[in-house]
Structure 1
Amino acid sequence: MPTVISRLFSVESLIKPDRRLGPLPGTKDAYRELLHIALPSVAEMLMVSLVGSIDTMMVGRLGPEAIAAVGLTTQPRMLLLAVFMALNTGVTAIVARRKGEGRREQAQLTLRNASVLILIIAAILMIPSIWAAQPLMLLAGAQADTLADATVYFQILALVLPINALTMAICAAQRGIGNTRITMVVNIVANLVNVVFNFFLIEGNWGFPRLGVAGAAIATAIGFTVGLVLSILSIAHRDSFLHLKLRASWRLHPDILRSIVNVGGNAALEQVAMRIGFFVFARIVADLGTIAFATHQICMQFLNITFTFADGIGVAGTSLVGQYLGKKRPDLSVVFGKISQRIAMIVSLALLSVLIILREPLVAIFNTDPEILALGSQIMIVVALFQPFQTSSVVISGCLRGAGDTRYVARIMLMCVTGIRPLASVLMVYVFHAGLLGAWLSSLLDMSIRVVCVYTRFASCKWFDIEV
């Protein structure tokens, strides 16, 4: 047994001797290096996701309609944020590479250019998003009982889009240099502020006005603002690798922007493809009615929570793959990519067990409606089955992004999320009348195909020579 475990987890077994370009780190040191970046990132994302779930619980006290209204805004908001997530993929990959190369000034210049570009785009998108909120919510599947709340919620968050976008950019750069503790503090504090103001504003506690769903949106906006203040403070220290001086040149450099767009452009295709696919999927589920959509939204909370483990480990993979490519050690990029996969697989098997055993009590945390409990217990089994596929896909995709191989990841997202998932969902829901369970099984099909594709790409090592 020790031999089998050693072969599976030891550093020596993760890279063939003929592919080694230098000495390998010890197994304990390698796992410690990855976990040093991954654990704060997992803690950050887990806390953010848990707070999002608490947000849903607090809104859930207003009834299934309120849960559905907030849920309807999710994919339109994520579609709006897709361009920023894409650019931030470029920021993370480039800053990680510059960190590995030891080029501090270039890393700082990258962040300055990205910040200006992102603020310009956010300002342009903010006004039409507020103006077109109601038609967009109708397109998302809002019904008469959810339209007003969904529209107000979306408009308030669109108003603070520049604040949210700039915070995301700074945190993306910090992740690139492996400084995940800072991003953890920024996002945890911001989300705790969100929860506190949820308590005040949703039901009007302690003399505050009772604003319902609008109060939840205002609380989120306040949390975003706190997050921006903290993220700016994180780059104010002169000793930090990322230090932005107000007196430094903020002129846009075409070569820097070209690098960001070259990596981020493919990531933009990935994000848009993914968000369109998720939007269409959510729209199909919305046709199943308020109870089904509320159940879907509750189960999505658990999928999002479990996603944080994979995403946090994936951040470490992204950072280390990029840094070691910058140090001209692609062999160690492979090693750390495989270490991240193995850690993620262990976590996914543990999550699978918990979700199956506790599926009904977990759903009951959000709502005790008998129909929601019955349907939610079925969907939670699918959520559990998602785990090995989701963690592997997210982690390996993160490693490929760290190498700058965003074009391949984008193509896979376009094929699976924008193509296979919606088509399979249409068949399951409208043709075979399999309801919400059928829709979720369609998602599982998409995820299983996706993980095979990205694993094959990573194993091919074709991403070694990509320049960023």
Structure 2
Amino acid sequence: MTKTQKKLTLFALTWPIFIELGLRMLMGNADTLMLSRYSDDAVAAVGVANQLVSVLLVMFGFVAMGTGIVVSQYLGAGEKRKASEVAVVALGANLLFGLFLSLMMIVFGRTFLQWMGLPDELMSDALTFLRIVGGAAVLQAVMMAISATVRSHGFAKDAMYVTLGMNVLNVIGNYLFIFGPFGLPVLGVLGVSMSTAIAQVCGLIVMFVILVKRMDGALPFKLLLKFPRYALVNILKIGVPSAGEHLSYMSSQVMITFLITMIGIGALTTKVYTQNLMMFIYLFSMAIAQGTQILIGHLVGAREQETAYRTCLKSLKIGIMVSLGMACVMSLFRENMLGLFTDDADIVALGSTLILMTILLEPGRVFNLVVISSLRAAGDAKFPVYLGILSMWGVSVPLAYLLGIYLGYGLVGVWAAFIVDEWLRGLLMLWRWRTKRWQQMSLVQSVQAPVQEGAAG
């Protein structure tokens, strides 16, 4: 085992990813919690703007996701040099892509927010956040490619430590810019936006240093000048279909957010608070899904298909038990937790009902997080996209409109639509995994030949 690669186990991968994801969510929750002491309207404005920023992260994620899977499979197959080549090309691709999309947020941010039906009184704050945080999204794009490479080599703790540092910087910046100690000006949303961007700059610098150190200088950066097509094609071959499922989900969420704006600003604020709390409920499921994806990538690359099959099912069982338990605990303390964000009795009452409904929602979500990640890692990336588009746009969005708007159940109706969508997709994904069709979709077989040909050229 070389210095640039560690022995992988599900636990060793999952716990640092679990903490890292928790810290990333805490970063967003810290913004929301601290802004809630400033203005509920500011919380709603930033919540809507963050929907667009999340779409950007999904767009960047398709390169990072493809990178992680291809690198994992090459490492499993013993092709370490090819893994390094793919990592360098991914950095260049996400840098260019990130610059383009960040510019789009700066220039067309107002138009995008208007398309989402954002009320005029929230436009100024939302636009400020979008132009600064969305404009700095290129930093996230490059960092995601670096993190995918580092994790695939087994160094998941590195990204965790960097995220911890970013959180500390963000909280300090929020405190300084929101509360104005030592005579500093109170900047509100502007201050939160600046704090987030500064933390991301620092995080990217540290992650790049870690990447160079962990790879022992074995990264062929000269490939950025040649930008070999074979590497980018192999990344996109896996990443684009994978991103399709995420992009469909995020765009459907944007549409549902638009529907919620029709209910009222109070409903929009409740959604933001509730979803911030819900993130912690399925945090472990997200971590175990990402850890499982890396592990299965290595196993499939090493042609250990049956071990990969059992690994997914084991991870699924663990994810269901833990997420269900966390949902129950969250439900017991739902009013106290919502009270951290607001003292509005109507928001607390409605949010409490939504959190109770997560007891039904979260087990269905686990199926999607764990099994879809496993299918991707095995090379079966297209099926989740086709099914996801069908379910999200054929079930979730129209059902949210039917129950939430047409029949007048509001956010409760929207949450019921979420439950139906997650369970339908989750059970069908599990069926797909059990068919074992993915065992005939080895990514190593599909990408090795073109990589060798490109390397020779």
TM > 0.5: yes
Structure 2 partner of 1:76: 52
Unaligned runs of 5+ in 1: 1-29
Structure 2 partner of 1:446: 421
Secondary structure in structure 2 of the residue aligned to 1:236: helix
- Kindly provide the amino acid, as one letter, of the partner of residue 129 in structure 1: M
Aligned pairs, number: 437
In structure 2, what is the Cα distance between the partners aligned to 1:96 and 1:191?
28
List structure 1 runs of 4+ shifted beyond 4 angstroms. 245-250
Structure 2 partner of 1:149: 125
Matched, 1:59 2:35: yes
Q: Assess if the C-alpha contact under 8 Å between 2:84 and 2:220 holds in 1.
A: no
Structure 1 partner of 2:61: 85
Please give the TM-score of this superposition, normalised by the length of structure 1.
0.90
In structure 2, what is the Cα distance between the partners aligned to 1:398 and 1:70?
29
In structure 1, what is the Cα distance between the partners aligned to 2:345 and 2:196?
30
| Residues 76-115 of structure 1 mapped to structure 2, 5 A cutoff | 76-115=52-91
Equivalent pairs: percent with the same residue?
A: 24
Deviation at 1:79, TM superposition (A): 1.8
Q: Assess if the C-alpha contact under 8 Å between 2:92 and 2:224 holds in 1.
A: no
- Kindly provide the amino acid, as one letter, of the partner of residue 174 in structure 1: V
Structure 2 partner of 1:20: none
In structure 1, what is the Cα distance between the partners aligned to 2:91 and 2:272?
33
Matched, 1:286 2:261: yes
Secondary structure in structure 1 of the residue aligned to 2:182: helix
Structure 2 partner of 1:186: 162
Matched, 1:268 2:243: yes
Match of 1:343 among 290, 313, 318: 318
Deviation at 1:103, TM superposition (A): 1.3
Q: Deviations over 1:423-443 (max 9, x none)?
A: 101101221011111111111
Structure 2 partner of 1:202: 178
Deviation at 1:205, TM superposition (A): 2.4
Structure 2 partner of 1:427: 402
Match of 1:117 among 67, 78, 93: 93
| Residues 151-166 of structure 1 mapped to structure 2, 5 A cutoff | 151-166=127-142
Q: Assess if the C-alpha contact under 8 Å between 1:198 and 1:215 holds in 2.
A: yes
Q: Assess if the C-alpha contact under 8 Å between 1:37 and 1:178 holds in 2.
A: yes
Deviation at 1:243, TM superposition (A): 4.3
| Residues 32-431 of structure 1 mapped to structure 2, 5 A cutoff | 33-237=9-213, 240=215, 243-244=218-219, 246=221, 250-431=225-406
In structure 1, what is the Cα distance between the partners aligned to 2:282 and 2:216?
29
Secondary structure in structure 2 of the residue aligned to 1:377: helix
Q: Assess if the C-alpha contact under 8 Å between 1:278 and 1:417 holds in 2.
A: no
Give the direction of change, closer, same or farther, for the CA distance of 1:240–1:117 in structure 2 (3 Å limit).
closer
Give the direction of change, closer, same or farther, for the CA distance of 1:445–1:242 in structure 2 (3 Å limit).
farther
In structure 1, what is the Cα distance between the partners aligned to 2:366 and 2:216?
30
In structure 1, what is the Cα distance between the partners aligned to 2:167 and 2:360?
29
Give the direction of change, closer, same or farther, for the CA distance of 1:115–1:244 in structure 2 (3 Å limit).
same
Q: Assess if the C-alpha contact under 8 Å between 1:175 and 1:315 holds in 2.
A: no
Q: Deviations over 1:20-52 (max 9, x none)?
A: xxxxxxxxxx9x921111011111101211232
Unaligned runs of 5+ in 2: 1-6, 444-457
In structure 1, what is the Cα distance between the partners aligned to 2:410 and 2:217?
50
| Residues 14-29 of structure 1 mapped to structure 2, 5 A cutoff | none
- Kindly provide the amino acid, as one letter, of the partner of residue 230 in structure 1: V
Secondary structure in structure 2 of the residue aligned to 1:463: helix
Q: Assess if the C-alpha contact under 8 Å between 2:281 and 2:330 holds in 1.
A: no
What is the aligned-residue RMSD (CA, Å)?
A: 1.8
Secondary structure in structure 2 of the residue aligned to 1:366: coil
- Kindly provide the amino acid, as one letter, of the partner of residue 189 in structure 1: G
Give the direction of change, closer, same or farther, for the CA distance of 1:224–1:94 in structure 2 (3 Å limit).
same
Secondary structure in structure 2 of the residue aligned to 1:45: helix
- Kindly provide the amino acid, as one letter, of the partner of residue 146 in structure 2: I
